[in-house]
Amino acid sequence: MKINEIKPSEGARPKAFRKGRGPGSGNGKTAGRGHKGQKARSGGGVRPQFEGGQMPLYRRLPKRGFSNVRFAKQYLEVNVGDLDRFDDGSVIDLTSIKDAGIISVPKVNDGLKVLGDGTLSKKLTVSAKAFTASAKAKIEEAGGEAREI
């Protein structure tokens, strides 16, 4: 069998149904859209939450509770495994990570957070705003130091 001889199973790919191709097709003229109205027009229709002008559910329900979304810290996240490309004994901070091309974000919101995914085999001094417990353990296990700014 050759790659050019491979064909899908019989009935696996039904023929595409072409709407609006004359009365003989069984779906000509209005092409299943009916006569006139908003849904019959090109680009017509309503948005998914629209309830026909009735006050929508999301506006009928009271606003309750507290959401931390506005106040949550937004850290730039880097894994421990990404830091293994640096030389042994080097001091790592946000600028050195940017220069190495690990992150390429123009705006740094609340600083750098080091996560614990991956392995570290070099002795590094890492300066960041936050560390996960596993990241701190891996850095110190390799003989390095985790400094919180």
For 101-111, the pLDDT digits (tens) are 998 888 888 99
Q: Is 90 exceeded by the pLDDT of residue 83?
A: yes
CATH number of 76-148: 3.100.10.10
Mean pLDDT of 53-80: 93
- Supply the pTM of this predicted model: 0.58
Domain ranges of the chain: 76-148
Mean pLDDT of 41-55: 94
How many Cβ atoms sit within 10 Å of the Cβ of residue 2?
Answer: 5
Copy the structure tokens of residue 67.
Answer: 């959401």
How many Cβ atoms sit within 10 Å of the Cβ of residue 107?
Answer: 6
For 4-32, the pLDDT digits (tens) are 999 999 999 999 999 999 999 999 999 99
Q: Is the dihedral of CA 120, 126, 130, 136 positive or negative?
A: positive
Give the separation between CA 105 and CA 74, rounded to whole angstroms.
13
* 83 touches 115 (CB < 8 A): no
